[in-house]
A and B are shown apart, each in its own frame.
Chain A
Amino acid sequence: AQKVTQAQTEISVVEKEDVTLDCVYETRDTTYYLFWYKQPPSGELVFLIRRNSFDEQNEISGRYSWNFQKSTSSFNFTITASQVVDSAVYFCALSEGKTSYDKVIFGPGTSLSVIP
């Protein structure tokens, strides 16, 4: 069965601190995709990154970086030098490659508050 776990329900950091959001997933498939989405108070889900199961290369995009480790089934997300605008709920998600439709399984989310 597919499952996404985000153990951190809420995190508060002071502006300019680094913060890492944890994500652990479960799947039996060898082909799958992992995602991170950001949901600000407005409600719209904002796509941040997609990573397929064959590409374990870590990625950095500006202040954001992602650490994908298949050995531990983790796909962690780090924000460097956090800003108030980073305050939002962040969702990790999983989609299996062999399904005939793009069903995405979301984790419960981590609410990040960046305090000025």
Chain B
Amino acid sequence: ETGVTQSPTHLIKTRGQQVTLRCSSQSGHNTVSWYQQALGQGPQFIFQYYREEENGRGNFPPRFSGLQFPNYSSELNVNALELDDSALYLCASSSGTASLNTEAFFGQGTRLTVV
């Protein structure tokens, strides 16, 4: 086990709704990254939070937003859900940024289905 926990594990939402996914990072880690993994594809980087601030973003629209809390846990919020948002959402925690010698530990993911 990596020590990174995500909740919920599965979720079904209706198109147009909003969803919040949660991630508790590994103890001692101050950086959280979120990835979207569509079925049969590799994960795609959504954004990263470092010490409560967004530190980088991939090619995702503004309706994908996030937060990081003082204890370094994080939330991913998606507004106006679309069918194509159905995917496995993975959270990864690591210590520091730009210091790529740190290893990222992934959670087990949240499987989101939009109907």
CB neighbours of B102 from chain A (8 A): 102
| Contact indicator A43/B98 (Cβ below 8 Å) | no
Q: Shortest Cβ distance from A21 into chain B, in angstroms?
A: 13
Interface centre among B48, B104, B108 (most CB of A within 10 A): B104
Is A91 in contact with B42, judged by CB distance below 8 angstroms?
Answer: yes
Contact assessment for A103 and B42 in the assembled complex, using a CB-CB cutoff below 8 Å = no
Q: A100-B55, A101-B50, A104-B104 are in contact. Are A43 and B111 (CB under 8 A)?
A: yes
B98 with A101: CB separation less than 8 A = yes
**With A100-B56, A101-B50 known to touch, is A44 a contact of B2 (CB < 8 Å)?**
yes
B106 within 8 A of A: yes
Chain B residue at minimal CB-CB distance from A42? B108
Report which of A44, A50, A108 forms a contact with B103, defined as CB distance below 8 A. A50
In the assembled complex, how far is the CB of residue B50 from the closest CB belonging to chain A, in whole angstroms?
Answer: 7
Known contacts A43-B108, A47-B105, A109-B41, A103 near B56 by CB under 8 Å:
yes
Binding site for A on B (CB under 8 A): 2, 31, 33, 35, 40-45, 48, 50, 55-56, 58, 88, 90, 92, 94, 97-98, 100-109, 111
Binding site for B on A (CB under 8 A): 4, 33, 37, 42-47, 50, 52, 91, 93, 95, 97, 99-109
Can you give 25 contacting A-B residue pairs, CB < 8 Å? A33-B100, A37-B106, A43-B88, A44-B108, A45-B43, A52-B100, A91-B42, A100-B55, A100-B98, A101-B97, A102-B97, A102-B100, A102-B102, A102-B104, A103-B33, A103-B45, A103-B56, A103-B58, A104-B33, A104-B43, A104-B45, A104-B104, A106-B43, A108-B42, A109-B41
